[in-house]
């Protein structure tokens, strides 16, 4: 198994280092050989090469079986970007586009032993287990733009084919879960949302066993707070997915625990990354929570290598250490990156 590591910025190098140690151990347990190599990406790559996604990094990603990414960005790069420098985020967007990673899977569930970590009351949040499928290479992120000091413009284009392929991913996921799909749009205002809704309905004809509902994005932002446990799979366009999946990760109280998988065509390596950011304020302090990245490594084993048992063993180990009371800093505890990593390695 060959994994390309993109440590990125801030706490990225720390959390990916943890996850690599976990990958090494489960691959050893499974008798699978593992090859990892790090490549510069994001702000770190801007510092050394002047661009956030150097061609050699992209090559290495395409040649690997899967990519494990830390996080990108930091205040120094924001400042430089205002002066005309490229932004670390451009590397992330270019990576998604160049590799054709059109489906971003973000599972958010309440860890049974962490009900107390949710800002929501237990009776409301209990049982929440949602998979958000976010379209990742279309919409406002990749439409034409006009920058300007007096006027600016972004465009939100979607084609039937772009919606169809992510719809298939979502319907298939729903079929393998509890059979419910909630599609989120703003069809009462946006033309792209009306096309979105139509294509979802068309694709649903091929999945009679999946129950589909359409919900407006503003209503969904409410429902995620008032009744999160009533949803199964949620599919939506790029920017709505960005907003709603972050809201949801806050709802289940686990921004530091949440993994994600960005997938493309069957023969494309996927990119696996925690949903948290680069947290420059705690970089280098040893306080970063590596669990989001470790669970992303589990998704990598599942989707990039078909190693379901190995993936499950990581997820079980994470549940075990949390059940036994281990608490990283972001969950109000005192377990640092090393403590968490060691505990998970031990539980494996």
Ligand X SMILES: CC(C)[C@H](C(=O)O)[C@@H](O)C(=O)O
What residues make contact with ligand X under the rule CB under 6 A? 89, 92, 188-189, 218, 242
Least distance to a copy of itself, CB of residue 249, Å: 7
159 binds, among ligand X, a copy of itself, none (CB under 5 to 8 A by kind): a copy of itself
Torsion sign across C-alpha atoms 302, 307, 308, 312: negative
Binding mask 59-98 for a copy of itself (x = CB under 8 A): --------------x----x--------x-x---x-----
316: annotated active-site residue? no
With CA atoms as reference, report the closest residue to 46 among 37, 36, 57, 35. Answer: 57
Q: Per CB under 8 A, does 140 bind a copy of itself?
A: yes
242: annotated active-site residue? yes
154: annotated active-site residue? no
282 is in an annotated binding site: yes
Chain CA centroid to CA 311, Å: 16
Across 50-118, the runs of DSSP E, i.e. the strands, are 66-71, 103-109
141: annotated active-site residue? yes
330: annotated active-site residue? no
Position of minimal CB gap to ligand X: 89
Q: How many residues does the chain have?
A: 348
Which listed residue (218, 309, 316, 346) is catalytic?
218
Q: Per CB under 8 A, does 262 bind a copy of itself?
A: no
Strand-pair partners of 109? 129
Q: Give the interface size with a copy of itself as a residue count (CB under 8 A).
A: 57
80 binds, among a copy of itself, ligand X, none (CB under 5 to 8 A by kind): none
Q: Per CB under 8 A, does 121 bind a copy of itself?
A: yes
Question: Are 144 and 281 spatial neighbours (Cβ–Cβ below 8 Å)?
Answer: no
Question: Are 259 and 210 spatial neighbours (Cβ–Cβ below 8 Å)?
Answer: no
Structure tokens at 81: 């970007």
The DSSP result for 249-276, as a single string, is: HHHTT-TTT-EEEEE-STTSPEEEEESS
Q: Per CB under 8 A, does 224 bind a copy of itself?
A: yes
Least distance to a copy of itself, CB of residue 304, Å: 26
Q: Is 37 helix (H, G, I), strand (E, B) or coil?
A: strand
With CA atoms as reference, report the closest residue to 287 among 297, 295, 276, 298. Answer: 276
Least distance to ligand X, CB of residue 15, Å: 15
Least distance to ligand X, CB of residue 262, Å: 9
Least distance to a copy of itself, CB of residue 23, Å: 28
Strand-pair partners of 83? none
Q: Is 22 helix (H, G, I), strand (E, B) or coil?
A: helix
Q: Per CB under 8 A, does 11 bind a copy of itself?
A: no
- Nearest residue (CB) to a copy of itself, 6 versus 60: 6
C-alpha 212/C-alpha 81 separation (Å) is 42
Q: Per CB under 8 A, does 151 bind a copy of itself?
A: yes
Q: Please, what's the b/e burial string for 237-268 (b: 16 or more CB within 10 A of its CB; e: otherwise)?
A: bbbbbbebbbbbbbbbbbbbbbbbbbbbeeeb
C-alpha 248/C-alpha 118 separation (Å) is 10
List residues forming the annotated binding site for NAD(+). 277-289
Binding residues: 96, 106, 134, 218, 242, 246, 277-289
Residues near a copy of itself (CB under 8 A):
73, 78, 87, 89, 93, 119-121, 124, 140-141, 143, 145-160, 186, 188-192, 194-195, 198, 217-219, 221-226, 239-240, 242-244, 246-247, 249-251, 255
């Amino acid at each position: 198994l060959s994994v390309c590591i993109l440590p990125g910025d801030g706490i990225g190098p720390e959390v990916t280092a943890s996850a690599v140690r976990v990958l090494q151990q489960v691959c050893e347990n499974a008798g699978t050989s593992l090859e990892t190599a790090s490549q510069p990406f994001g702000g770190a790559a801007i510092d050394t090469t002047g661009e956030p996604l150097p061609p050699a990094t992209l090559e290495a990603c395409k040649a690997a079986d899967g990519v494990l990414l830390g996080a990108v960005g930091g205040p120094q790069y924001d400042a430089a970007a205002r002066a005309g420098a490229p932004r670390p985020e451009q590397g992330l967007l270019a990576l998604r586009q160049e590799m054709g990673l059109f489906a971003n899977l973000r599972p958010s569930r309440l860890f049974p032993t962490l009900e107390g970590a949710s800002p929501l009351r237990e009776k409301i949040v209990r049982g929440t287990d949602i998979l958000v499928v976010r379209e990742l290479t279309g919409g406002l992120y990749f439409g034409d733009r006009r920058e300007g000091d007096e006027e600016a413009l972004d465009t939100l284009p979607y084609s039937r084919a772009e919606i169809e392929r992510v719809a298939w991913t979502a319907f298939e996921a729903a079929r393998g879960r509890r059979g419910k799909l909630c599609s989120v749009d703003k069809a009462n205002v946006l033309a792209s949302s009306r096309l979105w809704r139509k294509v979802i309905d068309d694709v649903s004809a091929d999945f009679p066993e999946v129950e589909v509902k359409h919900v407006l994005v503003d209503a969904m932002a409410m429902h995620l707070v008032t009744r999160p446990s009533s949803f199964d799979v949620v599919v939506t366009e790029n920017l709505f997915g960005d907003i709603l999946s972050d809201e949801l990760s806050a709802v289940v109280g686990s921004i530091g625990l949440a993994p994600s998988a960005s997938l493309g065509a069957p023969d494309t390596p996927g990119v696996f990354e925690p949903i948290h950011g680069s947290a420059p304020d705690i970089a280098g302090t040893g306080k970063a929570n590596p669990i989001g990245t470790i669970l992303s490594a589990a998704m990598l084993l599942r989707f990039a290598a078909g190693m379901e048992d190995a993936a499950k063993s990581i997820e079980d180990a994470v549940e075990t250490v949390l059940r036994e009371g281990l608490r990283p800093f972001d969950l109000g505890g005192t377990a640092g990156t090393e403590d968490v990593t060691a505990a998970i390695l031990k539980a494996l």
